[in-house]
Structure 1
């Protein structure tokens, strides 16, 4: 029975591995340290929105046997609209992931530095690990490695959260009592934005179309999606809970949280949390280039699989640039700003396109029902609000 369970999980676990990265560790740390348990509801909302969108993307991948870019190219007949969307997707995902890859590697390096001290070659070491897995591994290898890393990451963060002796009553209050004000609004946007990730929608559809090819597998796809996203959300919540122990202290990122835990809970807490940061960095360093390669392949209509050199060229470029930026300590602010703008626009657009696609004849009897459409519409409203807040933040309006 256990072997059957593990046989039917995989693609969505990679999605969880992708959204629980160094950025998530940082924003969750800041949420807990600055606002205690009061923003757990925002993470609960993020989990709900992610499940709704990822299920639709996965269902499209299973029924059509294609990735999301291929489906979009075939479904939109207007050439101008199709080209505009392809350019937007390529800009937001490919260019954006190039910028974020440096952050993923830097996040993993922080975990290593806490344990072993600062070494100049850590970015190169992590980059080579990611390169080896992407180049020599196939989907099944990547799946097993990332699932293992997610387990390590989950155990590390959850163990740390349990160790602080959290207030269960306050946790439930934070989960089910929304609190929004001018002080926490940008942190709320950050929590949702770091969980509901546009490139994960593309990655999920492509991975599902590769792993499953029978419509009868839809139940397994849904179970995989729900279980994996919920577990990923629990990991994020555990970081928020762990960081509540540091309220009133100046904490800037997950590495600072790991260091600050030592005088309170001992050196073991520092090492356990640092291992979690390292695992988060590695998983995101693998999935970000992989997602970008799938997007470019689908948008440009390339043939072939993960072993094709055109596919490899995309993730190699993103990984190498990430290694360089991480090694020299360069923060590609201009590129990241552009990526924020593009992603702020892309998320609501993709959410709307997803809703449109899952109501087309393409899916037949597997189209959305009324309840699914209502839930998706609610998520779209959230996505539009998130996109607007992201743009306002970039342009300094808020």
Structure 2
């Protein structure tokens, strides 16, 4: 009996150790989730739910599927291509247009992503401190981020993100469960494939395009391989680990997005709350959990936004510097493959962190409007990204037997069609 207990204890200890090792190995996917989630998914899902119930759920489902497809293909290319190229170098092989376009596009979108992250973090910090100075608080956020950027804190940030992700997921999941989601309406909205009439603060088409931009079409998806490199996942044998990590990350993203959407549809919408400010977003937790809910929301959102600011400020300059080295090959020869060695990397970081403060100046567009608008603008680059990836991921000379299968090619063609449709709709809506 004693021997059996000892064996059982050893087996249990082994299982616990294995689970810990598995969770510890997950990293780039977690970084990616919070870099993606930040405010884009949080706002677009809550706005869609509060304004249009579950009628736009099919857009989210399709976008999450395409996000997994696109990020997995990008990661696979970086791990499996025969010449050890980065994804940006791969695009550079197709045509110089892709390199110049992605350089400018990453610079602009990185600025705009941090614009609403910094604005949102400033507004939340202002609320937490009970001072009506969101612009000053945004400056404080940038100052603290600037201080942390010089430190070797990748592992610390990763661990903090894991905890925050668990807390955020739990808080919204519990609230969504308590709200009693209408499963029938969720299924109907997921297979509905229709755009409802405008009834909310933001037009249904703009919200739909914003969801596609925030989830499937975001250039932030390209940052994932650079976090993989920091983790040491650079060889073909890391393919399975990378895919499992990404599957875990996407699964968590699905749970979070669905929970936020349910909160919008089942709590905000019935109470007549339209998401026009970040305070409107927090009312759901406050209505149900009182002051504790208030604390969970504001501290959770602030930490998530701040983590995303750090992630984008360190991730986007790698992407931009990589693209610059393709345009200016002499810089790659001079500074090598470590992007941080190039002085321009630091300038890109400063640009990414400091210039977005102009959007926090009083009188600029509100946080929610900025999030919806910026994520809709992602659609501008989505067709170029999708078409380039379709060509690149089928190149036998680079990928050999690791090219796309039939299903992946069909879905990528679908993403190209969706990207072109979204871009046309955005242009028509704008003009």
The whole-number CA distance in structure 2 between the counterparts of 1:282 and 1:159 is: 24
5+ unaligned residues in a row in structure 1: which ranges?
A: none
Contact 1:124-1:327 at 8 Å conserved across structures: no
In the other structure, the counterpart of 2:351 is 317
Note the C-alpha offset of 1:67.
Answer: 2.7
Contact 1:61-1:206 at 8 Å conserved across structures: no
In the other structure, the counterpart of 2:98 is 85
* SS at 1:21 equivalent: helix
2:158 aligned to which of 138, 143, 149: 143
TM-score, length of structure 1 as denominator length: 0.87
* Structure 1 residues 311 and 270: alpha-carbon distance in aligned structure 2, compared to 1, 3 A threshold: same
2:268 aligned to which of 246, 256, 262: 246
Deviations 1:12-70 (A, max 9, x none): 22221122122332222211111122322221111101001010011112124443222
Contact 1:359-1:368 at 8 Å conserved across structures: yes
Contact 1:30-1:253 at 8 Å conserved across structures: no
Number of matched pairs: 388
2:167 aligned to which of 152, 158, 164: 152
In the other structure, the counterpart of 2:283 is 259
Deviations 1:271-292 (A, max 9, x none): 2222332133113212222332
| Pair 1:305 & 2:334 matched | no
RMSD: 2.9
In the other structure, the counterpart of 2:90 is 71
1:268 aligned to which of 287, 292, 296: 292
Describe how 1:219-238 pairs up with structure 2 within 5 A.
Answer: 219-238=240-259
Note the C-alpha offset of 1:293.
Answer: 0.4
Note the C-alpha offset of 1:336.
Answer: 10
* Structure 1 residues 67 and 200: alpha-carbon distance in aligned structure 2, compared to 1, 3 A threshold: farther
TM-score, length of structure 2 as denominator length: 0.81
Contact 2:103-2:324 at 8 Å conserved across structures: no
5+ unaligned residues in a row in structure 2: which ranges?
A: 1-17, 199-203, 326-331
* SS at 1:212 equivalent: coil
* Structure 1 residues 151 and 310: alpha-carbon distance in aligned structure 2, compared to 1, 3 A threshold: farther
Contact 1:91-1:342 at 8 Å conserved across structures: no
In the other structure, the counterpart of 2:77 is 60
The whole-number CA distance in structure 1 between the counterparts of 2:99 and 2:148 is: 29
In the other structure, the counterpart of 2:26 is 9
In the other structure, the counterpart of 1:174 is 189
| Pair 1:127 & 2:139 matched | no
The whole-number CA distance in structure 1 between the counterparts of 2:34 and 2:305 is: 9
Deviations 1:249-274 (A, max 9, x none): 33314421213653454232232222
The whole-number CA distance in structure 1 between the counterparts of 2:250 and 2:406 is: 23
Note the C-alpha offset of 1:241.
Answer: 1.0
Note the C-alpha offset of 1:339.
Answer: 7.1
* Structure 1 residues 33 and 11: alpha-carbon distance in aligned structure 2, compared to 1, 3 A threshold: same
